Each structure stands twice: as structure tokens, then as C-alpha cells.
């Protein structure tokens, strides 16, 4: 049975397959991220992260927006002269949209259903996988109204885009669509808007066929080595691999070898080893 969690700016539905559909829910403000939305997301992400029934997290937006970025009124102007309020909302933002989301133990999917501007690039890039409507509109609009891509936006666009694209789009503020976002490797898959949910569900099901512990360790390892040198990456991956053997109580590795080498019942090159009976 689907479980629904309501916050004032975020709605979460955890369906019986284990997919948590997290929806930024301020469609009248194009899901701009207000301080309250950050507090809600912080609570939601902690809840999802510690709920064993959740296997995949999908982030999307209500209406025709994924998110129009930071709320210019509530996140910026209203707290311009209030360092305490700024600290609270900035820290909540950093906590959920980068620290928790980018290193979540569960697979995370950005399902971009429309506008995605400015600060929304942070959760977009923190998600493991991005699937977008072909006609979604992306933009680094900061330049248009007198700020630079802050938070960690300048950093994530340098990390995710080619330098030429990062600088070009930050300087011009030109928008681009979902098809272009895939071409630029900012998103993985672009589909017609009417197929967005169905394709996301298919992707989530594919991820749920893998062993969840192995999947969590894999994504964390691939992300963590990015800033390591080769020697450190070797050491880290060896230690992480040993830790995985301990953490994976289903011994997926051992069963995989047995089924391939001894029983000859499956081919690991093409399919995940079956669940432990």
C-alpha cells in the first residue's frame, strides 16, 4: 500500500514496490526552493534514508516545473540582513541537497519534468541518474539577475559539464532543453514528457533487481574516487570491497561465483544474480 508523507512544501509517496516519489510541491511558485522547502527536504531525506522499505528515491516537481531554483524572495531577499536565518536555510540546503543526496545509500533519480534553474542544479547533479522530459528547460539564470552561480552550482557544473559548456551557459544564461542536457551529459536519458514517469519506473525496477547493499557501495565508491589520486583510490577500493563483503549479508559475490562457475546457471555479464532464496 502506498504511504504518503505530507510536508508543507514537499509530498512523498512510498509505493509498494519501494520507490519513494518525492515531489517539490510549490507549483504556484514553480517549486522555487524556499527555506521551508529545504527544511522539509532535510526531514524527508533523513526519513527515506532510514526507511528500509525504500529501494529507490525519485525527485520530481509538481506542475510544469522541476524547480525554478532558489526562492528569490524567501531564500534571498527576506534573509539578506538576517545572518542567523541565512545560516539555517543555507545549512539545511547543503545538508539535504548535497551531503545526504549525493552519498545516499539508495539509488537516487532526478526525474526532470520541466523548468530547472540555478540552484536546482545542485540536487540535479547530486542524484545518481537524471532522466528528463525532452522539452524540460534548463538554465543558469544567475547572470541575468546579478549573482554568480553560488551554493555549489559553479562547482557542480565544472564537474559535470565540459568546461566550454559550463562557462558558456554560466556567462550567457541561455536555456537548453532536455535533449541538449543529455547531449551535454548533464542528464542520462531524455524522453517525451508523457513517458517520463513510465520510463523512470522502468529504470527504478531495473535498479531494484540488483542487490541493494552492493548497489549502494558501488555508487558511493564510484563517486568517492573522483577526487583521489590513483594510489589512494587503489587503497580505498580494496578496503571498500572488503567492507562490502562484510556488509552484504546475502553474500551476492559468493552466490554469483557459485551459480556461474559451478552450477552454470547464469551469465553475470548480462544479468544480476538471483535473490537469496
Q: Which is nearer to ligand ACO, 97 or 211 (CB)?
A: 97
Select 186 or 204, whichever has its Cβ closest to ligand ACO.
186
Per CB under 6 A, residues contacting ligand ACO are: 29-30, 32, 68-73, 115, 117-119, 141-142
Name the minimum Å distance from CB 142 to ligand ACO: 5
Rg (CA), the chain: 20
Question: In whole angstroms, what is the distance from residue 47 CA to residue 44 CA?
Answer: 5
Give the residue with the Cβ less far from ligand ACO, 160 or 266.
160
Strand partners, 65: 115
Cα 62 versus chain centre, distance: 17
Q: ∠ CA(207), CA(209), CA(214), 5° rounding? A: 75
The H or E element spanning position 112 is strand 108-112
Q: Minimal distance in Å, beta carbon 110 to ligand ACO?
A: 16
Burial profile 208-220: b = 16 or more Cβ within 10 angstroms, e = fewer: bebbbebbbbbbb
User: What's the min distance (Å) between Cβ of 253 and ligand ACO?
Assistant: 43
Number of helical (H) and strand (E) elements in the chain, helices listed first: 11, 11
Judged by CB, which is closer to ligand ACO: 35, or 118?
A: 118
Partners of 59 in the beta sheet?
22, 110
Q: How far is the CB of 132 from ligand ACO (least distance, A)?
A: 16
Shortest distance (Å) from residue 118 CB to ligand ACO: 3
143 near 85, Cβ under 8 Å?
no
Q: Pick between residue 37 and residue 129 the one whose CB is nearest to ligand ACO.
A: 37
Amino acid at each position: 500500500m502506498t504511504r504518503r508523507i505530507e510536508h508543507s512544501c514537499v509530498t512523498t509517496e512510498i509505493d509498494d514496490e519501494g520507490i519513494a516519489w518525492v515531489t517539490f510541491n510549490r507549483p504556484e511558485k514553480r517549486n522555487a526552493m524556499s527555506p521551508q522547502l529545504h527544511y522539509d527536504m532535510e526531514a524527508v531525506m533523513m526519513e527515506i534514508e532510514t526507511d528500509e522499505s525504500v529501494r529507490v528515491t525519485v525527485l520530481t516537481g509538481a506542475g510544469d516545473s522541476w524547480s525554478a531554483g532558489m526562492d528569490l524572495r524567501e531564500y534571498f531577499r527576506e534573509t539578506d540582513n538576517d545572518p542567523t536565518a541565512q545560516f539555517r536555510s543555507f545549512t539545511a540546503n547543503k545538508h539535504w541537497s548535497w551531503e545526504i543526496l549525493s552519498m545516499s545509500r539508495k539509488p537516487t533519480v532526478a526525474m526532470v519534468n520541466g523548468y530547472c534553474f540555478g540552484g536546482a542544479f545542485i540536487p540535479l547533479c547530486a542524484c545518481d541518474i537524471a532522466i528528463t522530459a525532452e522539452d524540460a528547460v534548463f538554465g543558469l539564470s544567475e547572470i541575468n539577475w546579478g549573482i554568480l552561480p553560488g551554493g555549489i552550482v559553479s562547482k557542480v557544473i565544472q564537474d559535470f559539464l565540459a568546461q566550454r559548456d559550463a562557462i558558456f551557459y554560466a556567462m550567457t544564461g541561455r536555456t537548453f532543453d532536455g535533449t541538449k542536457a543529455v547531449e551535454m551529459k548533464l542528464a542520462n536519458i531524455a524522453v517525451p514528457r508523457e513517458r517520463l514517469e513510465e520510463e523512470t519506473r522502468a529504470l527504478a525496477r531495473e535498479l531494484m533487481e540488483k542487490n541493494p547493499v552492493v548497489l549502494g557501495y558501488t555508487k558511493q565508491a564510484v563517486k568517492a574516487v573522483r577526487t583521489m589520486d590513483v594510489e589512494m583510490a587503489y587503497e580505498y577500493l580494496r578496503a571498500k570491497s572488503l567492507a562490502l563483503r562484510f556488509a552484504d549479508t546475502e553474500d551476492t559475490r559468493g552466490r554469483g561465483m557459485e551459480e556461474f562457475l559451478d552450477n552454470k546457471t547464469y551469465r553475470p555479464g548480462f544479468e544480476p544474480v538471483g535473490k537469496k532464496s
